[in-house]
Amino acid sequence: MRKYIICLCCIFLLTLLAQAGNVQADKPTLAEMEKEAEQGNDTATLQFILGLLYSGEVKDERVPQDYTKAVYWLQKSAEQGYVFAQYHLASMYVKGEGVPQDDVKAVHWVQKAAEQGHAGAQNQLAGAYHAGVVVPQDYTKAAYWYQKAADQENAGALKHLGVMYIMGEGVPKDVGKGLDMLQRAAKLGDTEAQAAIAKMNEFGLPGLTKDEHDVCPRNGNDKIITEKIYCNYHENGKLELEATMRNGKIEGIVKTYYESGKLERETPYKNDKREGISKAYYESGKLKTEELYRNGMAEGIDKHYYESGKLETEFFYKNDEAEGIARAYYESGQLKEEAPFKNGNMDGIAKGYYESSKLQDETPFKNNKKEGQKKVYRENGKLFATILYKNNSPVSGVCHNSWGTTTPLTNAELTNWKNGLVIECR
């Protein structure tokens, strides 16, 4: 019951104290307040205030916190039908403060307050029926009480009733109406609704236009109220994305699809973070990438493949940063490039190779920038050019001609080299 009955303390302004015998103005002693609460007429409000004082919800240096006395006064007020005392007393039973924890008594007092129109109590009573706590599970009654609270703009009720409309539980299924309620709850400050709407917007899940989104079809009568599976569709009507969200967080396998309906990517999530091996596929169904995640961060080997199935690249990650030697391959399987990484930055000598496996170039890197002398080789193994880099820019260089002489590179040739254009070294 702790999960469904949340203590929403009703702290009154000093005007309430004034109503109970002008307490603040006259500053009566605690003993005087208690005597009046025991003997006076129309004492329910004062009894409730004493309950709040002893529970610590209302601070007064004259009153030490005493949950047993708090329950005593709240009980007296609740038995007189004071709705706020009924609701607050229910929370004391939920938490076991001043009394043994007792869900049955908690629901009893919540129902009393709900029947008097208390929105928070109506929301909590709905939650009890929704989950089948103390009372028999009954989606129709849950929807009834959620609606009562939602009519008073109770954010929690709007959130839960919105989910019920999306899932078609206890009410006719109406995704658009359900999404509208989630957005209203989010605007009222419900953090779970806000998180859900944010994730919907981020991943193209339902939340903005009810005509373009729907809840994914599910097998059987799923009654897990905290789990919501959403879909997004391509313009041709084919499924584009499906994801499971629990309590506003992504959980399970998120899948995306090509317009043809073929699987494009599947990524496992745990508690809103990527966890496990994420795989992407070519439209032909061939594996395209494999990426390992731990607690939302890349960890281990990241592999990309040609559509033929041959390995194209492999990177090694630690704590979401590239670490060690990354390699790229020709589709023939021959090594094409290798580069050293440290803490996510290229650091050391990167090497490129001809498909014949001959060395093509050597480039020094420092903190992800070219720094030092780059060497380029002809496929026959002879030196082609040397380029000096500072802070990632070429500052000087020479061509090594085939007859054994060298020619300095002009500024224009260095600029061309920087822009990826091939220079002529005969």
- Domains along the chain with CATH numbers: 1-152 (1.25.40.10), 368-426 (no CATH)
Q: Tokens for 68, please give them.
A: 């047993």
pLDDT tens sequence for the chain (426 residues): 333 333 333 333 333 443 443 444 456 787 888 888 787 566 888 888 888 888 888 777 788 888 998 889 898 888 888 889 899 898 899 888 999 988 899 999 999 999 999 999 999 999 999 988 888 999 999 999 999 999 999 999 999 999 898 888 899 888 778 888 988 898 888 888 887 776 666 554 544 333 333 445 443 333 333 456 767 777 777 888 888 877 767 888 989 999 999 999 999 999 888 999 999 999 999 999 999 999 989 999 999 999 999 999 999 999 989 999 999 999 999 999 999 999 999 999 999 999 999 999 999 999 999 999 999 999 999 999 999 999 999 999 999 987 778 889 888 888 877 777 666 776
Structure tokens at 49: 């205030």
**Quick check: 342 and 365 in contact, CB under 8 A?**
no
The predicted structure's pLDDT at residue 317? 94
pTM of full prediction above 0.75: no
Position 248 scores a pLDDT of: 65
Tokens, residue 264: 């494009």
SS3 per residue for the chain: CCCCCCCCCCCCCHHHHHHCCCHHHHCCCHHHHHHHHHHCCCCHHHHHHHHHHHHCCCCCCCCCCCHHHHHHHHHHHHHCCCHHHHHHHHHHHHHCCCCCCCHHHHHHHHHHHHHCCCHHHHHHHHHHHHHCCCCCCCHHHHHHHHHHHHCCCCHHHHHHHHHHHHHCCCCCCCHHHHHHHHHHHHHCCCHHHHHHHHHHHHHCCCCCCCCCEEECCCCCCCCCCCEEEEEEECCCCCEEEEEEEECCEECEEEEEECCCCCEEEEEEEECCEECEEEEEECCCCCEEEEEEEECCEECEEEEEECCCCCEEEEEEEECCEECEEEEEECCCCCEEEEEEEECCEECEEEEEECCCCCEEEEEEEECCEECEEEEEECCCCCEEEEEEEECCEEEEEEEECCCCCEEECCHHHHHHHHCCCCCCCC
Instruction: Report the C-alpha gap between 426 and 421 in whole angstroms.
Output: 16
Distance between CA atoms of residues 33 and 73, nearest Å: 12
Region of residue 215 (left: phi > 0; alpha: psi -120 to 50; beta: else): beta
**Beta bridge partners of residue 349, listed in sequence order:** 364
**How far is the CA of 10 from the CAs of 16, 86, 126, in angstroms?**
11, 11, 20
CA–CA distance from 388 to each of 59, 363, 395, 407, 421 (Å)? 73, 10, 6, 14, 17
Burial environment of residue 47 by CB neighbours within 10 A (0 to 12, 13 to 18, 19 or more): buried
Alpha-carbon gap, residue 277 to 264, rounded angstroms: 14
